[in-house]
């Protein structure tokens, strides 16, 4: 069985935008890559005549198509309200449930410590995703999870994208086009600004490539989670978790 990665994102197009090339590269390397999308992205338009319900439905379908193009193992929609994400116990509980279901070796999410990050959902999902790691690991967090048969799991590695101080680069020289194609499936977002977006993403990938010896790359902050004393008393049921 291949290694499992789980990306935790705020909005339907975040994965493709920030680390779509890496997702494809990981799939090609044999990883099972899952995606959790916290909000429906139902405020992501400048058009006041579009209802939030119809936009949410459109964006879910766009995500499914993009996910198929990327080769994702699955997408889990949490259905939260766009623009109203908070790193609170409710979101942490939902994410801990996902972690115990998917049991990832690698967690991929926003860098919540990025300076001057303007989008509140991007800050919130980064903190919640990181905080939920501990709740997934210890049995006395959210005991309903254990009652549902979801045993604790330990995530050992975190990759933060949109990172303030990147130190880990993924070569996307051969997957950048797939990233753009998948991102392009989010048609509701790109009616007028697609060319500028594609150009800036290419420049960003080339810049990250120069920092890492690749033609194109995506940059991350990589964290290996230190195993504390609690590890001694817990033996995970499944290898890798
Ligand atoms: Zn976003």
Domain regions of the chain by residue span: 4-233
Question: The tokens 């980064």 sit on which residue?
Answer: 126
Question: What is the value of pTM for the model shown?
Answer: 0.93
Distance 13 CA to ligand 1 centre (A): 7
Distance 184 CA to ligand 1 centre (A): 15
At 94-134, the pLDDT tens digits run 999 999 999 999 999 999 999 999 999 999 999 999 999 99
Number of Cβ within 10 Å of residue 214's Cβ equals: 18
In this prediction, residue 190 carries a pLDDT of 80
Distance 157 CA to ligand 1 centre (A): 22
Distance 82 CA to ligand 1 centre (A): 9
Distance 143 CA to ligand 1 centre (A): 31
Nearest to 135 by CA among 122, 111, 153, 112: 153
Report every protein residue that has its C-beta within 5 angstroms of ion ligand 1.
Answer: 10-11, 14
Average pLDDT over residues 16-30: 98
Q: Are 219 and 169 spatial neighbours (Cβ–Cβ below 8 Å)?
A: yes
Pick the CATH number of 4-233 from 1.10.10.410, 3.40.50.300, 1.20.20.10, 3.40.50.10320: 3.40.50.10320
Nearest to 182 by CA among 7, 54, 47, 12: 12
Distance 136 CA to ligand 1 centre (A): 24
């Amino acid at each position: 069985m291949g290694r499992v990665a789980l990306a935790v994102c705020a909005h339907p197009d975040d994965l493709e935008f920030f680390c779509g090339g890496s997702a494809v590269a990981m799939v090609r390397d044999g990883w099972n890559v899952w995606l959790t999308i916290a909000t429906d992205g139902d405020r992501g338009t400048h058009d006041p005549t579009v209802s939030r319900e119809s936009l949410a439905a459109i964006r879910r379908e766009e995500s499914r198509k993009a996910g198929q193009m990327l080769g994702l193992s699955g997408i889990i929609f949490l259905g939260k309200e766009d623009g109203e994400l908070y790193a609170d116990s409710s979101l942490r509980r939902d994410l801990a449930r996902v972690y115990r279901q998917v049991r990832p070796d690698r967690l991929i999410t926003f860098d919540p410590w990025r300076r001057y990050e303007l989008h509140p959902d991007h800050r919130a999902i980064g903190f919640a995703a990181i905080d939920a790691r501990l709740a997934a690991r210890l049995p006395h967090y959210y005991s309903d999870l254990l009652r549902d048969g979801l045993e604790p799991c330990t995530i050992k590695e975190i990759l933060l994208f949109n990172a303030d101080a990147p130190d880990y680069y993924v070569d996307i020289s051969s997957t950048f086009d797939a990233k753009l194609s998948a991102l392009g499936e989010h048609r509701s977002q790109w009616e007028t600004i697609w060319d500028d977006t594609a150009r800036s993403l290419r420049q960003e990938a080339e810049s990250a490539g120069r920092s890492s010896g690749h033609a194109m790359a995506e940059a991350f902050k990589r964290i290996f989670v230190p195993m504390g004393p609690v590890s001694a008393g817990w033996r995970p049921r499944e290898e890798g978790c």
